[in-house]
Amino acid sequence: MTDQMPLDEELPLAGLTVLDVSSFIAAPAAAVILGDFGADVIKIEPPGTGDPHRNSWLNPNYPRSDVNFVWQLDGRNKRSVALDLKNPDGRAALDRLIARADIMIVNFPLPVRERLRLRWSDVEPVNPRLIYASLTGYGESGPDRDMPGFDVNAFFGRAGILDAQRHEGGPPGFSLPAQGDRCAAVTIVSAVLLGLRRRDRTGKGGWVGTSLYANGVWSNGTLAQAALVGAFSTPRPPRDRPRNALANIYRTRDDRWIQLTLVREEKGWERLCRALQRPDLMADPRFTTKDARRAHATDLAAILDAAFAAHDWAHWRPILRTHEVTFGVIERLQELPTDEQARHAGIVADTASAEVPRTINNPVRLGFARPRPAGVPPALGEHTDAVLHEAGLSDADIAALRASGAAG
């Protein structure tokens, strides 16, 4: 912020307890955001194995690294309790935690929730003030409600995003790891906050939720809304034959890619011509109007290709900014660690971990609060004793749970 205001003494979610009874990414990432802003997040994991997401960093589709960068991102600012919810004693211990919690986040498939008695109808009698947030792949009802859903199939595939990315004659596009999950995580947080607002007014908890499918369609909302009225996009033409040459990408001499996005085209077109030192293009009958530029988009793309290829990115950046041309560079992730804008905007945050000293901050910004520092993510079951003690269990109770395999 440019206008600094005093920070509150407490983070906005301080005093709230969150049970993160979920695995993999979207739901745990929502719990991360709540923890960043002060909530006490207790992650419930199965003894022995824990959340499978602890090992996602070994996924062959992820970048190779010697450190568990994924768990730092999605496990920070949580306390880990190892309970076997299939064991009646472990499930009973969870009820002790539910009774004290404000928020519970779950993402098990609906049949699993039914078997483990983890539906809203199961937990409401234990704590009617609880905000119960559930994430599914495709929704809580309907013929596909029990289908396993990950972001690649439910968010990107079912919502039509991958098909919409398709080029003429080519296969559908493909997604990158967890992008849809992180969008859905913010929706979960929004739903939780709405539930808390209702509880403030009525004293009642309740169910809130979302699905990866719903978030994918919402993210693809412009094209999805068009489909509802019978309008459909055709596959995209190749880059050298664009529908609009002024909403296209161009390669510089040093192999960087510039994205032109001239939304206000009449002003932007003149500015671009001056930036390129090609005022003659404004008088070219092929390009004097928007319709003409569309009709001759292939010709214009070829001209812009040659112009941008004549110089390096370092040449174009100040020139395009000076002429107020709307553009962006297709950044390489290798540049993120040294990106000054990322540092100023709080996109990258320091951690307490020597192995992973920096992490990605959540996207929410508040003038009156800053997210708490990213702590080292917990070892599996690191806080089992402490949390169960807080719930009123004795040392003997906890020892009995461990002896029966109900706790770890």
Q: Looking at the domain assignment, is residue 377 inside a domain?
A: yes
Cα radius of gyration rounded to whole Å, the chain: 26
Residues 69 and 103 in one domain: yes
Tens of pLDDT along 96-123?
A: 999 999 999 999 999 999 999 999 999 9
Residues 310 and 364 in one domain: no
Residues 277 and 139 in one domain: no
Model pLDDT, residue 3: 58
CATH code, 279: 3.30.1540.10
Most distant CA atoms of the chain, gap in Å: 87
Residues 128 and 169 in one domain: yes
Q: Find the mean pLDDT for residues 345-374.
A: 95
Model pLDDT, residue 400: 97
Residues 207 and 350 in one domain: yes
The DSSP code sequence of 272-316 is HHHHTT-THHHH-TTSSSHHHHHHTHHHHHHHHHHHHHTS-HHHH
Per DSSP, the three-state class of 334 is helix
Tokens of 364: 């929410």
pLDDT of residue 2 exceeding 60: no
Residues 40 and 61 in one domain: yes
Mean pLDDT (the chain) is 95
Model pLDDT, residue 71: 96
Residues 288 and 382 in one domain: no
Residues β-bridged to residue 106: 21, 134
Residues 91 and 214 in one domain: yes
Rounding to the nearest 10 degrees, give the CA dihedral for residues 132, 135, 138, 144. Answer: -60
Model pLDDT, residue 148: 86
The DSSP code sequence of 228-266 is HTT--PPPBPPTTS-S-TTSSEEE-TTS-EEEE--SSHH
Q: Looking at the domain assignment, is residue 9 inside a domain?
A: no
Model pLDDT, residue 4: 72
- Of the listed ranges 30-44, 53-67, 292-306, 376-390, the least confidently predicted one is 53-67
Q: Is the pTM of this model over 0.85?
A: yes
Residues 253 and 266: their CA atoms lie apart, in Å, by: 27
Q: Looking at the domain assignment, is residue 295 inside a domain?
A: yes
Q: Find the mean pLDDT for residues 300-315.
A: 98
Domain span at residue 301 reads 249-334
Tens of pLDDT along 137-193?
A: 999 999 999 988 999 999 999 999 999 999 898 899 889 999 999 999 999 999 999
Residues 169 and 26: their CA atoms lie apart, in Å, by: 33
> Within 10 A of 371 (CB to CB), how many other CB atoms are there?
21
Pairing mode, strands 103-106 and 249-251: unpaired
Tens of pLDDT along 218-253?
A: 999 999 999 999 999 889 999 999 999 999 999 999
Q: Find the mean pLDDT for residues 310-329.
A: 96
Model pLDDT, residue 377: 96
